[in-house]
Amino acid sequence: MALRRDAKIELLKKVPLFAGCSKSELRELAKTADELDLREGTVLTREGRPGREFFVLIDGTAEVRRKGKKIADLGPGDWLGEIALITDSPRTATVTATSPVDVLVITDRRFRSVVETMPSIALKVLARVGERLSSDAHS
């Protein structure tokens, strides 16, 4: 199921991480996003390993585990791996597809090239990541 660029823009617009981005910023991000169909059981991120990509679930479900303990279920519209876009820190959780999944993927390298041409995206994304880290620290 290949998405048209405007469908990618609509998906990215719904992700809180990119909520403050303008249409032109979303258009640039959509150009860098690849769509992948992955099988049930595919590990999207592994706790403690380096992260190089950010994911938006288009369809399907995934499970988030930290230190072997289930901490969340993800579904369409959820996103993960945002820290990898801005830091070289290791993954904070293991995320495994619990059904076949369709995801949009943006690699750290592609994200950085977009930021170089549109620095305003970085400021908006950093603000959102800060909000999420703050709420995670309090939960």
Least confident of 27-36, 51-60, 62-71, 85-94: 85-94
Rounded CA-CA distance 105/13 in Å is 15
Distance CA 74, CA 103 (A): 12
Return all residues near 76 (Cβ < 8 A) that are at least 6 apart: 57, 58, 59, 60
Over the stretch 75-100, which tens digit does the pLDDT of each residue have? Answer: 998 888 887 777 778 898 999 999 99
| Res 73: pLDDT | 96
pLDDT tens digits, 115-132? 888 888 878 877 777 776
Three-class secondary structure of residue 112 per DSSP: helix
What pLDDT score was predicted for residue 47?
94
Question: What DSSP letter does each residue of 13-74 carry, written as one string?
Answer: HHSGGGTT--HHHHHHHHHHPEEEEE-TT-EEE-TTSB--EEEEEEES-EEEEETTEEEEEE
pLDDT top residue among 23 and 5? 23
Is domain 5-137 given the CATH code 3.30.930.10 in the classification?
A: no
Which residues are registered as beta bridge partners of 94? Answer: 65
